[in-house]
Structure 1
Amino acid sequence: MLLETTKIPMADFMGRFASQFFEKAKDMLQPEYQPGQHPAIARQLEHLPMLRKPFPAQAENILAASVHLYACDQPAIVLSQDMGTGKTLVGSTIAMMGKRPQRIIVVVPPHLVAKWAREIEVTFPSVDVHKINHAGAIEALEKAYRAHSGQPERPEFWIIGRVRLRMSYRFHAQTNTQMQYSSWAERYVKRLTCPTCGGILMKPGKKPNKKETESMDLTEKVIPGAADGSEGDEDGIYYEFADHDFLNTAKRTCQHVKTGDQVKDGCGAPLWSARRLHEKSTEETIASAMQKLPGIGKGTAEKIMALAPTTIREIIRDLSNGDIHPAMSNVLNKSATKKVRAYIEHTGFTLGDGNYAPVEFIKRQIKKGWFDVAIFDELHEFKGDNTAQGVAFGILASRCRKVIGLTGTLVDGYAASLHPLLFRCDPQSLMRMGFGADDGARFQREMGVIRETVVEEEEDGLSTSRGRKVVRRQIRNLPGIHPNVVANLLLPNALFLDLPDIEKSLQQLAKEQGAGEVRLLPSFREVFVKIPQTVHQEERVTKFCKTILDAMKDAMRNGGEKGLMGPVMSAALYAADGGYKDVVCHPKRHEKPLGILKPIVTEHEILEKEKFMRDLAIRSVSAGRKLLIYTIYTDKLDLVRREVA
């Protein structure tokens, strides 16, 4: 018996059997959230005091995330939503869905701090919003923690920019000095010593060659067991006397010291101290902080600084507590006093605390769980494995009970970029799969796609008839993600929302309530039109492109600059559009241009693409339509200003 087979397009096949596939997947995956199955959480969202209610599609994401975080007690959720779908509203509402008032820290791009604060204030009427994207962030956190180290009485939002969160302080070497007689130099030389144990500081070195050994008065290298180099194992570890260049490159500790003629282990004490970015005196720092208050200029600040030192200390204490000292009120007029009072009530007053990272303060000085929820806006910006932002993300996530990530581009196609994000959000899930914090390369190899290029070259042995084979390996990450990543990591911990979802939910709601048609997104049709050049124009442009591309290949083949690709490709792409004038490809640090394209049209002619655009504009204006013309070229390559008759 022969069976007939029929080929149908994949889109038609999926459309025909979509419901069966969905039901089968639902039975296998056992989703945590199903619409209508969680009435308690739905009632909680309905009674949540909000001045702006979420759209139906947004509400579904809020309910699903709340079930995941609070009912199922999962540590993290990632919201992958399109721009304009309300990530701020959805993320902040999910954070508010805890069983008690939550203390929430929000990490956002610096330019969005004010926007987040404004959105929260106009959405939730009974919350406290603190903007700490300033130098006094640590002072504000410390004051709040000392005053209320327990659970908050009402919801709190602490908003900080991601740059401020991970900023660190500067440091410099902190050592003592000791004069020691050098037998090689035959004079006393200055040595750096540890302030704690007093030993002469040493640093690891390399075995000196014969030439260096003959000039030991300049290098003065020693090895363990024989500080003068006359005895000891020739293959032993060599040490040099530490200098400021070595100590200032990192936060060093006392590891090796010279005691007598021996090099021994140091005491481990730190050999650095923190310092501010500026060298201002205490008076200058206070005056500068005063001038940041509204209504206080340089002259008024000088009058305040002329008061008694005890009075100045009382003024600073009162400002930090949100009050204005009577002595300060006497200096200010009524209008300035009112402005200062409003400012410190809303923003607070601080003298600044240098550049010590707030995330380090949270890690070391604030107990774990004081912040209930951490929200990270633009989560993909924290995907760096060893970047300061990535490390700050991992530290803060580990100090909070729940983590909410917001992004529009969760997956960039590479498995390696997902590893640090997923591990810092939910390390247990990756550890169950056998991946640790340092397994990013293995995660890409096993859960992504790599291309390994192996090149074997046989070098001429010269003195022998047989050469030596040299094997070179090059590994490159390629786009691609294993299905296990999607099934075991993304689907259980991520929610997705785009604009058509919101529009569809509103249309369904309008239909149920008998309202008219609802359309959020305008209908449009995208058409690609290929504009052919004339034969003469095409020949000229093709010849120009071939000339500059060949010149680039020759230069790179002969070991020339690697920066030729940009200017050459820019000139080649611009030639067809800017051919009404000279197109010159002249990379920097080159004596002469790689190629010049003379105008491919006369002074009174226009290009074929310009003819099409002119005719389209005439038809659109005649039909009463508006027309927007967009060009990618600006500045010297600008095409908009060209007059097309």
Structure 2
Amino acid sequence: MAERIKKLFVPLFDPATEPLSEEVLDINEYIRAHAGYSLYDAQLAVAESIKRKLGQSKVALIVAGCGTGKTKIGSVAVAAAGLQSHQISAGHSKTFSIVLCPAHVTKKWVREIEESIPNTFAAVVRSISEFDLLYKLYEQGSRNCFAIISKEKARDGYMRAPAVIFRKWNREGLNIARPRANEEMPAVGFSPLRHVFCCPDCGAVIMENISKDGVAYCVPAGPRFFRSENRENHKCKICGSSLWTALNPTLWNQQTQWAKLGSYGFVFRPLLNEYREDIPNEAIRDRMTKLANCPDIPFPIRGAYRTFPLSSYIKRAYKGKIFALIADELHQYNNNSGQGDAMQELLSTAKKVVGMTATLVNGYSSGLFYLLYRIAPRRMCQDGKPYRDSRKFDTEYGVIQNIYEEREGAYNSNRRTVRSKKGSRLKPGVSPLVYTRFLLDCTAFLNLTDMGKVLPEYEEIPVPIEMAPEVRKEYKRLEDTLKHVMKSDKKACKKILSSYMNLLTAHPDQPYGQPAIKHPFDGYDIVKPKDTMPPGAIMPKDQMVLKIAEEKIAAGGKVLIYTNWTRLDTPKRLLKLVTERGWNAAILEAKVKPEAREDWVQDYLDHGLQVLIGNPSLVETGLDLNAFTTLIFYDTGYKLFTLRQASLRSWRINQSAPRVEVYMLYHAGTMQHKAIKLMASKLAAAGMIEGSFSEEGLSAMSECEDMTTLMARELMMGIKDSVEDLAATFKRMAMLKPQEAAWSIFSDEVRKTDSAVLGRSSPSILEFTFGTEERTVPQAAVLPQDSPVFFETAKAEHKRKKGEVDEDQLLLFQIA
């Protein structure tokens, strides 16, 4: 079977039988001479494969685990492709390329490129003028150039507001003249059925598509349709004119038709009642009430930036001039978002594209749909998946849960069953056919265990904590109240389930100052948590953190503590406790700019930092935190990707410590226990994509629910897993004896990658950025279901709902 697979799937580059190209070897020799080390065999093999793929087509992907050196591999592959003989023979002796990456790793990209690629300079670009200046310097010189652009800056633009006109329906279908600027909007005392939103140019009625009871309708758009700008409301479908206009803060404060309520979006004041069933929290409800009571009060806009998007400018002005685009953290562009659109604009401008990520699949087929259309639009069209119908893609490659209603018995005596479809829902899950049809021929996969180096041991250790008696009593009351609501008022339960789950998860960590849960329709308090401990009190989980930290610091190690809940006082409380014990500690806060976080951490380490506290989302990508060999998750949160990325921040190819430990603390018998149990199964399932099979992973593949639904189900069923079972699950996923790679490109050469062994000192690199003086920075370290799903039956005997999954769908790779 193995031989048959080899014949059917011939790799573009076989490192066991084929030599590396001269371009890759020359660049590797340059790295050896200037940085004191060479790339690993596996890194060189991936770089060679990507270089060859770029010689055949436009797009190539690198899916490599955390710490495998994707930055090095991607830059070497692009440089090698630019050095190919056909490039030089065509007169392209130098190339200009773009790197699109998260803001906190822009400087890292500059260092990596300038130490790895010969005859090349790189610079961080933040504006259109800086990009023009950099390209001018490139044209005047003889060296290759890389422009490093953060994904946030690439899509910066001016704020926009709805420009639609609200007036009487033009039943004859004739154009409606646009009112003059000084003309007041029509009065809104008429029935909303007689007034509609119209295009400001052609006057056509703006329509929106809705789906109810499995039937799609097209109706005049309501005010909620314009909460935020998206593909559906961006342009008039009749004339193509924009339905949004630039927001001038001065003029905005003089109008009284629209108001922007933070992240909720724009609301149309005359029709505030339309938003009653769509208010997410109490803060928005209070602002809505203020608007209703004072309809003429101005709502100033904050942060009304006005710049032209950098990605759009590059597409217009530099078409055909960009050799390559490296899209770092490719998974962050897989949604229908502004940053995804920016990546698409840059992709269409470049001749070659290299996408890099550690986790390509976010769990849902809808995420892959937009990403595949950006990198392989022709293949998607050939597969019969139109861009305007993502549902067709989800049906074939995702998991769709169809909900049906069945009537039985006396209601239909002449039939056994009458079945009607009530709706459908997209669930987590991606078919493996996506890999074979769209990714197999353009993607190189790499894992840390392929590097040919003995890695340090890595283990995730769950630690159960018992709550104080008074805290457990109050927690039980909150839990019983939710169970009662879930049984007695299912309509309200759907609205409050997420916030209630958050309360049950956060309450044991801070049993004071928790907000009440209000009824979504009537507004009364369903439950109001009682304060069972005073603010600042030392919790049992705090004591466990101090115990672990004391042991590790005494052994000369450093500790990284992750706290997910931003609304709790956990970080400040932990900082106070550790500093009282004489340890040097600091909190990495969100206000530290992403591009400055790497230097911020290093500065504190230089001053003797022993304990670092922060949110895992701030360091989940790009940062190497090798100094911290003990990681403690004070709470784990619900995001699988964040958990995986943050837990591997110090398990890198250049980690010199013999062991990395990750402690996951949770309160036994609570929602924290349920959450970490579900996350363990999802981690095992995610590992199966990378070839790590386990019983838990196979079991998790059969689950198609989101985390909130699964946790609610666990709440009703109760805790059934023992602490030993949970610990055993993590134990089986630990990397206690990593294996070396089985092959070597340099089989006749002794591998020596440590700069100390090579006898070379770390050189300095000249960092080239705009707006600052040139400065010397230290050398960077080497980067190293077929069965239906049944819902709870209703109280009525003859009526029930059940959900089922299409029998033709494959249920592999299901990750929430």
Out of 362, 366, 377, the residue aligned to residue 416 of structure 1 is 366
Structure 1 Cα separation of the partners of residues 388 and 57 of structure 2: 23
Q: Quick check: which has more Rg, 1 or 2?
A: 1
Does residue 47 in structure 1 map to residue 38 in structure 2? Answer: no
The counterpart of 1:522, out of the listed 450, 456, 460, is 456
Q: Which residue of 2 aligns with 1:14?
A: none
CA contact (8 A) 1:127 1:155 kept: yes
1:96 positional shift: 0.5
Q: Give the CA deviation at 1:376.
A: 0.8
Match for residue 164 of structure 1 among 126, 146, 153: 153
Residues 350-393 of structure 1: CA distance to partner in whole angstroms, max 9, x if unpaired? xxx972233333333334x32111111111121123x2222232
Give the alignment's TM-score, normalised by structure 2: 0.46
Report the AA paired with residue 31 of structure 1: P
Corresponding residue of 1:228: none
**How high is the TM-score relative to the length of structure 1?**
0.57
Residue 29 in 1 paired to residue 9 in 2? yes
CA distance in 2, matches of 1:271, 1:628: 52
> Which among 380, 400, 418 is matched to residue 430 of structure 1?
380
The equivalent of 1:370 in structure 2 is 321
CA distance in structure 1 between the partners assigned to 2:69 and 2:307 by the alignment: 33
List gaps (5 residues or longer) in structure 1: 1-20, 175-201, 208-220, 224-235, 257-267, 280-352, 459-468, 508-518
Displacement of 1:75: 1.6
Q: How far apart are the structure 2 equivalents of 1:630 and 1:583?
A: 23
- Alpha-carbon distance, 1:631 to partner: 7.0
* C-alpha displacement of 1:554: 8.0
SS in structure 1 of the partner of residue 312 of structure 2: helix
Deviation at 1:242, TM superposition (A): 1.4
Deviation at 1:439, TM superposition (A): 3.9
Q: 2:143 aligns with which of 144, 147, 154?
A: 154
Does residue 562 (structure 1) correspond to residue 555 (structure 2)? The answer is no
AA partner of residue 116 (structure 2): T
Q: What is the letter of the counterpart of residue 457 of structure 2?
A: S
The answer to whether the aligner puts 1:495 opposite 2:429 as a matched pair is no
Q: CA deviation at 1:110?
A: 2.9
- Whether 1:131 and 2:114 are equivalent positions in the alignment is no
Deviation string, structure 1 residues 186-241 (Cα, Å, up to 9, x no partner): xxxxxxxxxxxxxxxx989765xxxxxxxxxxxxx6x7xxxxxxxxxxxx324433
How far residue 134 of structure 1 moved from its aligned partner, in angstroms, is: 2.0
1:42 Cα shift? 2.7
* Residues 637, 170 of structure 1: alpha-carbon distance in 2 compared, 3 angstrom cutoff: closer
Which of 61, 73, 85 lines up with 1:90 in the alignment? 73
For residue 321 of structure 2, give the secondary structure of its aligned residue in structure 1: coil
1:112 is aligned to 2:95: no
Higher relative contact order (CA 8 A, sep 6+): 2
Amino acid at match of 1:166: R
Which residue of the partner structure matches residue 41 of structure 2? Answer: 56
Secondary structure in structure 2 of the residue aligned to 1:131? strand
Work out whether residues 165 and 358 of structure 1, in 8 Å CA contact, stay in contact via their aligned partners in 2.
yes
- 8 Å CA contact 2:478–2:527 kept in 1: the answer is no
Query: For the aligned residues, what is the CA RMSD?
Result: 5.0
How far apart are residue 592 of structure 1 and its match?
5.7
**Structure 1 pair 624–107 and aligned structure 2 pair: CA distance change class (3 A):** closer
CA distance in 1 between counterparts of 2:247 and 2:512 reads 54
Quick check: 2:178–2:203 contact (8 Å CA) kept in 1?
no
The whole-number CA distance in structure 2 between the counterparts of 1:397 and 1:96 is 17
Match of 1:298 in 2: none
The one-letter amino acid of 2:54's match is L
Contact 2:178 2:200 in 1 (8 A): no
Deviation at 1:595, TM superposition (A): 4.4
SS at 2:386 equivalent? coil
SS of equivalent residue, structure 2 residue 176? strand
Note the residue ranges of structure 2 that are not aligned, 5 or more in a row: 88-93, 186-196, 205-238, 251-304, 409-417, 582-816
Partner SS for 2:435 = helix
Counterpart of 1:359 in structure 2 is 311
Q: C-alpha displacement at 1:553, in angstroms?
A: 4.2
Task: Tell me the residue number matched to 2:477.
Answer: 544
- Quote the residue 2:350 is aligned against: 400
Deviation at 1:571? Answer: 3.8
Within 5 A, what are the aligned runs for 1:456-467? none
Say whether the 8 Å CA contact 1:453–1:475 is kept in structure 2: yes
Answer yes or no: is the 8 Å Cα contact 2:75–2:117 preserved in 1.
Answer: no
**How far does residue 135 in structure 1 lie from its aligned partner after superposition?**
4.5
Deviates more, 1:423-432 or 1:26-35: 423-432
1:577-602 Cα shifts (integer Å, max 9, x gaps): 56xx668562479766824457599x
Distance in 2, matches of 1:169 and 1:614, equals 48
CA deviations 1:273-323 (Å, max 9, x no partner) are 9989799xxxxxxxxxxxxxxxxxxxxxxxxxxxxxxxxxxxxxxxxxxxx
Matches of 2:241 and 2:491, distance apart in 1: 50
Alignment partner of 1:572: what SS? helix
Counterpart residue type for residue 343 of structure 2: F
Superposed CA deviations along residues 124-182 of structure 1, whole A, max 9, x for unmatched, are 3411324321241464378579x68xxx95322122222332334568999xxxxxxxx
Aligned partners of 1:272 and 1:569: how far apart in 2?
39
Spell out, residue by residue over 1:397-419, the C-alpha distance to the aligned partner (whole angstroms, 9 max, x if none). Answer: 22222110111221112222112
Displacement of 1:424: 1.7
Residues 140 and 610 from structure 1, CA distance in 2 versus in 1: closer, same or farther, beyond 3 angstroms?
A: closer
Q: Which of 439, 448, 452 matches 2:402? A: 452
CA distance in 1, matches of 2:562, 2:143: 51
Change (3 A) 1:276 1:449: closer
Structure 2 match to 1:343: none
Q: Distance in 2 between matches of 1:450 and 1:562?
A: 22
